[in-house]
Amino acid sequence: GKWKNKERVLIFSSRGINFRTRHLMQDLRTLMPHSKADTKMDRKDQLFVINEVCEMKNCNKCIFFEAKKKQDLYMWLSNTPQGPSAKFLVQNVHTLAELKMTGNCLRGSRPLLSFDPTFDKEPHYALLKELFIQIFSTPQYHPKSQPFVDHVFTFTVTDERIWFRNYQIIEEDASLVEIGPRFVLNLIKIFQGSFGGPTLYENPHYQSPNMHRRLIRLSVAAKFREKQQVKEVQKIKKKGSKVLIEEDPTEVVFETPAEEKPVEIQLVKPESKPIVKDKKKPRKIQRKKQKKLFRTE
């Protein structure tokens, strides 16, 4: 057949990406035969330069990876001439080369795209769905593609994020094995233009990684400060001045002194009481010393 659907996707990145991102990019390039690669873009250039790069390469879609602080990875998906674009924060990246991904598929075979029902419920998700479909589906009869459909991409919305998985179809009864790669996309914003333009949608649940790290640090600091405060309060309590109670003049009314007993002088020694052995009490152990004294005497 003839290749009619002329989609070309430009996949490239900025400088300062780490090995995982690089491998992810390479994996996407192998999985999508309708993709083109480009050199790393300098961070100094503005983002709308990318539109020009795409035009030069004759691509109408773009996946751009941007790494900041050598820690955070952002991904731009865009329809280059005039269409919408979206920025995501990428997390939990696992590449094709990981040994736990045991599946394999033909290089360039067309994927099935599977979406969550949630994608139809919200307009911004519907837009994203359309973007994903146009970018990730391999056009039919593309010269580099294989005619078989043997793997499926899943996009699922869970926990306000979009989870991507790639499975190989083994049997007709839908037994699947994961091929990889895997990543999680956290939507930041959707723009009307490509890499710019008015913001169509902003994700209220998104928290920038900087904020996230800051919050963690603040919470730790807050705990520490709380402990300090508690300690200080305790110190003050200890030192605290005792409250003086005023003397109540009416208290004296109830005082009655005790009666004085007559003083008796005893002249005769009182009779000694008979010693009654208390058998209930344990016998006192006689000290050996006393016995010794008696013997010497």
What are the strands, taking DSSP E only, across 135-216?
146-158, 161-169, 176-178, 182-193, 196-202
Query: Exposed, middle or buried by CB within 10 Å (0-12, 13-18, 19+), for 93?
Result: middle
From 62-70, 155-163, 227-235, 253-261, give the range in contact with another protein by CB under 8 A: 155-163
Report cis status (omega within 30 of 0) of the bond before 198.
Answer: no
Closer residue to another protein (CB): 14 or 95: 95
152 binds another protein (CB under 8 A): yes
Angle at 67 between CA 61 and CA 69, to 5 degrees: 160
112 binds another protein (CB under 8 A): yes
Among 67, 110, 135, 185, binds another protein (CB under 8 A): 110
Among 68, 74, 149, 196, binds another protein (CB under 8 A): 149
From 12-20, 113-121, 235-243, 247-255, give the range in contact with another protein by CB under 8 A: 113-121
- Note whether 195 and 47 are within 8 A (CB): yes
Instruction: List, in order, residues 6 or more apart from 45 with CB less than 8 Å away.
Output: none
CA distance 42 to 73: 16
How many residues form the binding site for another protein (CB under 8 A)? 62
| Look-up of token digits 């008015």 | 198
Question: Whole-number minimum distance, CB 48 to another protein, in Å?
Answer: 18
174 binds another protein (CB under 8 A): yes
- Note whether 80 and 61 are within 8 A (CB): yes
Among 10, 17, 24, 31, binds another protein (CB under 8 A): 31
Among 134, 189, 196, 207, binds another protein (CB under 8 A): 134
CA atoms within 13 A on the CB side of 287: 3
Instruction: List, in order, residues 6 or more apart from 36 with CB less than 8 Å away.
Output: 8, 9, 10, 11, 57, 59
Assign 282 to helix, strand or coil.
coil
26 binds another protein (CB under 8 A): no
Question: Whole-number minimum distance, CB 283 to another protein, in Å?
Answer: 50
CA distance 123 to 136: 20
Among 41, 77, 179, 185, binds another protein (CB under 8 A): 179
Site for another protein in 40-99 (CB under 8 A): 79, 83-84, 96-97, 99
* Residue whose C-alpha is closest to residue 77's, from 155, 125, 18, 11: 11
Among 58, 71, 91, 158, binds another protein (CB under 8 A): 158
Closer residue to another protein (CB): 68 or 130: 130
CA distance 8 to 34: 5
What would the two tokens of residue 227 be?
Answer: 């402990």
104 binds another protein (CB under 8 A): yes
Among 62, 63, 65, 111, binds another protein (CB under 8 A): 111
114 binds another protein (CB under 8 A): yes
Residues lying near another protein in the complex (CB under 8 A) = 5, 30-31, 79, 83-84, 96-97, 99, 101-102, 104-108, 110-120, 123-124, 126-127, 129-131, 133-134, 137, 139-140, 146-150, 152, 154, 156, 158-159, 163, 165, 167, 169, 172, 174, 176, 179, 190, 192, 198, 200-201
